[in-house]
Structure 1
Amino acid sequence: MSDNKPLQHVVLIGFMGTGKSTVGKQLARRLGCSTCDVDAEIVKREGEEIASIFSSRGENAFRAAETEALEAVLSTRDTLVVATGGGAVLAPANRELMMKNGFVVALTADPEQLIARVSQDPDRPLLEGNVRERVYKLLEDRKHAYDFAHLTIDTTTLAVEEVVERIAQAMIR
């Protein structure tokens, strides 16, 4: 049989701090495939840290690099669990790429839980200044940005293993 369409990728989307990278690693282990963190792919391709790209070239340059990296990752033949950056869903082209090439899972969490998870991370350029204020503003700005996903899971009170299990079960159906 010459079916040249690979198994679908699993694309994890959601606000920063929802657990995309952590869930991605464990889900890949569970599915027996590799994982790819789009932010790490951008750093590798650009030879520059995310915060540095934001400060030296601006958010638009970062978003362009993000789309290129996402396109490259999703065009691979081997099935991957792909953890995207929180803002990757903002570009319509990115949403289209994700839907065309993967099973899209949105991870969500309570705002206070997100603040607790991300407040100590210096590598989050969009959170400079008052973290609580920035998180609430970004959440409001992106209120419906993740609505296109095939599956949405609130990670606020779930262990990583529970999230992985829910995704795996949804993929079987």
Structure 2
Amino acid sequence: MKIFLLGYMGSGKSYLGKQLSEKTGREFLDMDEVIENREDSSISEIFENRGEIYFRKLERKVLEELVNSKKPAVISLGGGTPCYGTNMELIKNDKDIVSFYLKWNIESLTERLSLEKDHRPMISHLENREKLEEFIRKHLFERGFYYNQSDHIMNCENKSAQQIIDEISGKLV
């Protein structure tokens, strides 16, 4: 079985994925890292040099490879991956995948991302906290439809990483 972690940027997909990987003995794969290694470029460089259409086609190809892989793994998806084309259908229609949406409220995501803003190309241009919150609010509204199709919606508010990992693990039994 493969475990897919979905959620907005800053929701902890990579960090929690690594922890869950250790706990379950599955390989950990970060989809963004897989793409960056394959292209020998960062995601932001791919967007800048090749464009979003190129990136989304590449993202779909990598997603198909991950879905079709027979190896058990914990896979952290890119924040936008489930929201393009039929990516979410591909995930949902595979009986060997269980998906988890790491759900945070807008205020928490704003707080978490304000600390990382300079390292995230999508939001580094936003001048202040108000603009960041507005950006997150808009994206969550657009993406919520896809995220909420996950097999499990994990409310992460006021929980430690260990509590979230334990909750996810409990749903795997």
When normalised by structure 2's length, the TM-score is 0.88
The offset of 1:121, in angstroms, is 3.7
Q: How does 1:123-142 map to 2 (within 5 A)?
A: 123-127=119-123, 128-129=125-126, 130-142=131-143
Residues 110-138 of structure 1 deviation map (CA, whole Å, 9 limit, x = unaligned): 11111121222434333232322211111
The offset of 1:73, in angstroms, is 2.1
Corresponding residue number in structure 2 for 1:114: 109
Q: How does 1:155-166 map to 2 (within 5 A)?
A: 155-166=156-167
* Count of aligned residue pairs for this structure pair: 165
Distance 2:66 2:138 in 1: 30
When normalised by structure 1's length, the TM-score is 0.88
Q: Give the % identical residues.
A: 29
Corresponding residue number in structure 2 for 1:46: 39
Instruction: Return 5+ residue gaps in structure 1 as ranges.
Output: 1-7
CA RMSD after TM alignment: 1.5
Q: Secondary structure at the match of 1:12?
A: strand
Whether the 8 Å CA contact 2:88–2:146 is kept in 1: the answer is no
Q: Secondary structure at the match of 1:95?
A: helix
Instruction: Return 5+ residue gaps in structure 2 as ranges.
Output: none
Q: How does 1:70-89 map to 2 (within 5 A)?
A: 70-89=63-82
Distance 2:136 2:6 in 1: 16
